[in-house]
Structure 1
Amino acid sequence: MHQRKIHHTPVALTTLGFGASVIGNLYRVTPPADAAAAVDAAWDAGIRYFDTAPHYGLGLSERRLGAALQGRPRHEYVISSKAGRLLVPNEEPRGADSDGFVVRDDLRRQWDFSRDGILRSIEATLQRTGLDRLDIVYLHDPDDHWRQAADEAMPTLAALRDQGVIDAIGAGMNQSAMLARFLRETPADVVMLAGRYTLLDQSALDDVLPAAAQHGKSVVAVGVFNSGLLSRDRPTEGMKYDYQDAPPELLTRALAIADVCAAHGTTLPAAAIRCAPCSPNSTGCA
């Protein structure tokens, strides 16, 4: 599979990546065998970029991805995870996570973009995955934490990058405006743009992509199915858009795009995947 480099770093990503939120039991239980088979299928298809996060299933995604990649040549794949949400003991568990993942809530998420929090998060990720290093670390959803993320967390990641501990740093969010600020105002190499450059939403054309082009940085476009609405040939009611049930007007738009795809001999999911990597300064999609 073709690869694209993250500008000014040694990291090259396959144009398609594997987003590991689902193997963290996003919305529903994914049996262990199915999670392992999904990673195997991605590998067999030539995918060599795998992304995870502590947030996904309260660490379940990281554990499963690390186990599935165990034994594969480490130099052949790129793995990214995220920091900013520490997993700490939950003093008042109710039996089930309330953040969209079907897992027990023996742990809870704790926002922390301090230097110590970032270092602790990375160390915990390495323990859960069984890896000795991460290729990319993104700050995860710092929407309400700009000052600490920009002034403390990003310099911490930059120091680790400069020491050769990690190869590339950035931020990942479901909005574009703050990601553009990370590109313009911090030492980020790359941003993970979730859902804002898709068939249904190209808002990143106004800020993230121009910022990346101006500063010679890179963009990884993810969430290209907008949480599921674009993942089937014919979308139906109840499918997700931005992690919520898709409103009727967006379902109507998706169905109209599906009709155009069918008229041209392709499918809505195929068009959704092709949309992101064709964007300027994009390294690929997951």
Structure 2
Amino acid sequence: MSPAVRLGLGCAQLGNLYHEIDDERAHATVDAAWDAGVRVFDTAPHYGLGLSERRLGEALRGRPRDQYTVSTKVGRLLVGDPAWSGGQDTEGFAVPATHRRVWDFSRDGIRRCLEASLARLGLDRVDVALLHDPEEHQEVALRAGFPALARLREEGLVGAIGAGSKDAAVLTRLVEECAPDVVLVAGRFTLLEQPARETLLPACAAAGVEVFNAGVFNSGLLAVDEPSADLPYEYGPAPAAVVARARAIAAVCARHGTTLPAAALAFAADDPAVTAVVVGADSPEQVRRNAALAAAPPPAALWPALREAGLL
């Protein structure tokens, strides 16, 4: 990984993504990231119905405020569910479904969403605010949501503004039409797929827009030395052909004295527009492992070997 690229902590796991972790483990995960030099923390109301934001805010409390960057997202309002009868969330997080997520990219919705995030985080401002997954709501998000973020930036409640999405085309449109400060692209510039390289990354480089590259393990398949079919890909089951390709890449990595996750991290940083590689973790051990891998990039010979094998 280039020394100029920051390693960020993706905080979906702090919201009990896939399985429950306790407060102590969540706090220890953030502590481990801090000790490893991580200063970028990306969260969202969506992650555990606000649990991720609350835990992140608690773990950062007492840290020097000018030494870290908190990124959160807007567009999904959390609304209390008076009909809740003890059920669990159905969107991948092991939390009680006490609230509903309501899409709202209106001016008022954006403000309400950010104000609620600030309360959960215990902050008076956030460094980055991103329109969250606006692909199905592009017109209102770009025409109302983004100007609302710009207004919040003028008021000092937000530093940089932009959007986070798995859709590289939507983010490219934002860059071309709205002049954001930063975009977060998830799972679209990885060892397995690189559609962001075609238009988004060049557009960001030309416009001076920072890129946070997230989902670089494609939600799990690239996170281990020997990928298997039981690992998630794109937050669901991995197709057999994708698993086979990941295994083939892992085999080339092994022949070059490195590992699949080390290569995934290094590749994710390999574009001048990328200023942070955001990686999730649900334990201090995972944080320390990822930081160690990021600090020891693969040999240069790996990349031509992957290209010659038709794997990159």
TM-score, normalisation: structure 2: 0.86
Q: CA deviation at 1:186?
A: 0.6
Unaligned stretches of 5+ residues in structure 1:
5-13
Contact 1:54 1:82 in 2 (8 A): yes
Aligned to 2:21: 30
Aligned to 1:282: 274
3-state SS of 1:30 partner: coil
| Pairs within 5 Å for 1:94-243 | 95-243=87-235
Q: Which has the higher contact order (CA 8 A, sep 6+)?
A: 2
Aligned to 1:55: 46
Aligned to 1:266: 258
- The number of residue pairs the alignment matches comes to 277
Aligned to 1:21: 12
Contact 1:15 1:284 in 2 (8 A): yes
Q: CA deviation at 1:3?
A: 7.3
3-state SS of 1:95 partner: coil
User: What is the alpha-carbon distance in structure 2 between the residues aligned to residue 27 and residue 108 of structure 1?
Assistant: 18
Partner amino acid, structure 2, of 1:200: L
User: What is the alpha-carbon distance in structure 1 between the residues aligned to residue 83 and residue 220 of structure 2?
Assistant: 32
Q: CA deviation at 1:177?
A: 0.5
User: What is the alpha-carbon distance in structure 1 between the residues aligned to residue 270 and residue 137 of structure 2?
Assistant: 31
Contact 2:2 2:270 in 1 (8 A): no
Cα root mean square deviation, aligned: 1.4
Q: CA deviation at 1:208?
A: 0.6
Partner amino acid, structure 2, of 1:160: L
Partner amino acid, structure 2, of 1:123: E
3-state SS of 2:185 partner: strand
3-state SS of 1:86 partner: strand
Q: Tell which deviates more after alignment, 42-51 or 269-278.
A: 269-278
Partner amino acid, structure 2, of 1:257: I
Contact 1:158 1:187 in 2 (8 A): no
Partner amino acid, structure 2, of 1:101: F
**Quick one: structure 1 residues 102 and 169, their matched pair in 2 at CA, closer, same or farther if it must change by over 3 Å?**
same
